[in-house]
Chain A
Amino acid sequence: MRVLIPAPLHSYTGEREVDADGATLADLLADLDRRYPGLRFRMIDEQDRMRAHIRFFVNGEQTFDLARALSPSDSVQIVQALSGG
């Protein structure tokens, strides 16, 4: 499925949109990390919690659940919530 990558993580992917697979959001992030090593830890901490300003959307709908089921036709958007100075 297509995954939209936020600009601060383009140094990993080199692209704004990439392909990745997974039956759940957690699986998708694991696949992204295999393809782009280190990417997942910048977004998800060691306790499997989403980092404070990282947000995930599936087909335009926000989710906070890493167990969220995905299908190959879904689109996933990863967003960095800009804040601070």
Chain B
Amino acid sequence: MPRSTKKSVSRTKGSAKTAKGAPRKTPAPKAQASRVLVMVATRKGAWLYHGDAGRKTWRVDGPHFLGHIVNHLMLDPRDGRTLLAAAKTGHLGPTVFRSTDLGRSWKEAAKPPAFPKAPEGEKGRAVDHTFWLAPSNASEPNVWYAGTSPQGLFRSDDGGVNWEPFSGVNDDPQYRVWMGSVQDGTPDGPKMHSIIVDPRDSAHLYFAMSGGGVHESQNRGRTWTPLVQGLEVVGGFDPANITFHDPHCVRLCPSNPDRLYQQNHCGIYRLDRPSKEWVRIGKKMPKRVGDIGFPMVVHPRDDNTAWVFPMDGMTVWPRTSPDGLPSAYVTRNGGKSWQRLDSGLPASQAWWTVKRQAMAADARDPVGLYFGTTSGELWMSRDEGKRWAPMAGHLPEIYAVEAAEI
């Protein structure tokens, strides 16, 4: 059976309350999984890295889809063998490829995510690329969600073969205003991302939009509510306007699904439900580094531990490591303090950074961390970030990294 971070939570909703402020930890698995799979999606294709039990040797499998822009490559944690890849090329339209044998063979989705045809005389939207793939929880074995650019939310009920627009959010007039136009989005298009299914309740969903804020549904997408209280926006703009909110990456803690962490355009935040107010925990980051970045990674068993990878968000937003000195940062106390984790990383003149989907954790003990850079390097740590080592180099620009145990 596959072992995944999401499957480590099996209790029913609301059944695991602990004293306020108490760290919530779940025990490490007694028997370690036999293999770790690291999935790397790049601007020019995808690669799979099969690690041994000690994560010391890796067998590379790839490239898959050489020349395709692969924005995300995800393993289905519910069966441990189905992979979905969100792909397009610079010239051909977007699609989703599916493998049911861990990448030995691939088949294209019969119906990839696409907006409905607009009525005559109206200008309809077209999916430029699928950006984010998210499996539902264990109670819905064949259900997947996808977020696209421009922002759209899609769902598949058959394991990723056929995709349909999900809920009314894609066409909701208010949401369309909050989504903004292409000019309001990131340089390579506005994105829907961070689609999260509560592991206790498949009707409880979150998604985020760059830009357009974080949103929550308690009724399987029938209605959505913005969840932006406490989040800051760029100076001079009104935080009450959802359009101005730019969450970069939101993660739910597998060991405590009531806790979420967020890396935002304007800082690092934590949210403890049922509160609706995000708390800016990035203020405790070193001032010379700041708390701007893209990825957000949570510990599979400890809801007080999370990692970020800051980037330079000054002036024209170079999107490089601050001062050319890349480093992850970890908090072990829910954001009260942060420690720099740069052992093994370049000590000077390293001007790459890490995109929002390009950093991940496995579920082993100690946790393995993996990140891919904009310069095509893949790095790993076997000890939760204490020491880093290069795992692969000379890849195309890395868009996404995922880790799973199989």
CB 8 Å contact bits of B106-122 with A (1 = contact, 0 = none): 00111010111110000
- Asked, given contacts A37-B110, A47-B117, A49-B126, whether A9 binds B92 with beta carbons under 8 Å apart, the answer is yes
Of B110, B112, B126, the contact of A47 (CB 8 Å cutoff): B126
CB 8 Å contact bits of B92-104 with A (1 = contact, 0 = none): 1101000000000
Asked whether any CB of chain B lies closer than 8 Å to the CB of A84, the reply is yes
- Asked, given contacts A37-B110, A41-B112, whether A46 binds B91 with beta carbons under 8 Å apart, the answer is no
Asked whether any CB of chain A lies closer than 8 Å to the CB of B90, the reply is yes
Asked whether any CB of chain A lies closer than 8 Å to the CB of B341, the reply is no
Instruction: Kindly state the separation between the CA atoms of A48 and B93 in the bound complex, as whole angstroms.
Output: 12
Asked whether any CB of chain B lies closer than 8 Å to the CB of A68, the reply is no
Across chains A and B, the number of contacting residue pairs, with CB separation under 8 Å, is 57
Asked whether any CB of chain B lies closer than 8 Å to the CB of A45, the reply is yes
- Residues of B with C-beta under 8 A to A71: none
- Asked, given contacts A38-B108, A41-B112, A47-B126, whether A54 binds B91 with beta carbons under 8 Å apart, the answer is yes
In whole Å, how far is A54's beta carbon from the nearest beta carbon of chain B?
A: 7
Instruction: Kindly state the separation between the CA atoms of A8 and B127 in the bound complex, as whole angstroms.
Output: 20
In the bound complex, do residue B92 and residue A8 qualify as a contact, i.e. CB atoms below 8 Å apart? yes
Asked whether any CB of chain B lies closer than 8 Å to the CB of A80, the reply is yes
In whole Å, how far is A29's beta carbon from the nearest beta carbon of chain B?
A: 13
Instruction: Kindly state the separation between the CA atoms of A37 and B112 in the bound complex, as whole angstroms.
Output: 12
- Asked, given contacts A38-B108, A41-B95, A41-B112, whether A46 binds B126 with beta carbons under 8 Å apart, the answer is yes
Instruction: Kindly state the separation between the CA atoms of A52 and B118 in the bound complex, as whole angstroms.
Output: 19
In the bound complex, do residue A46 and residue B92 qualify as a contact, i.e. CB atoms below 8 Å apart? no
- Residues of A with C-beta under 8 A to B95: 38, 41-42
Asked whether any CB of chain A lies closer than 8 Å to the CB of B8, the reply is no
Instruction: Kindly state the separation between the CA atoms of A49 and B116 in the bound complex, as whole angstroms.
Output: 13
Of B67, B90, B114, the contact of A46 (CB 8 Å cutoff): B114
Residue in A closest to B112 when the chains form the complex, CB atoms: A41
Residue in A closest to B93 when the chains form the complex, CB atoms: A42
Asked whether any CB of chain B lies closer than 8 Å to the CB of A70, the reply is no
In the bound complex, do residue B93 and residue A45 qualify as a contact, i.e. CB atoms below 8 Å apart? yes
In whole Å, how far is B107's beta carbon from the nearest beta carbon of chain A?
A: 10
| Ranked 7 nearest A-B pairs via Cβ | A45-B126, A46-B114, A53-B91, A42-B92, A47-B124, A42-B93, A38-B108
Interchain residue pairs with CB less than 8 A apart (29):
A8-B67, A8-B91, A9-B92, A37-B108, A38-B110, A38-B112, A41-B95, A41-B114, A42-B93, A42-B95, A44-B93, A45-B93, A45-B114, A46-B114, A46-B115, A47-B115, A47-B117, A47-B118, A47-B124, A49-B126, A51-B91, A51-B92, A51-B93, A53-B90, A53-B91, A80-B91, A80-B92, A81-B91, A84-B90
Q: What would 11 more interface pairs be, CB under 8 Å, given A49-B126, A83-B91?
A: A8-B89, A8-B91, A9-B92, A37-B110, A42-B95, A45-B93, A46-B117, A47-B117, A47-B123, A54-B92, A82-B91
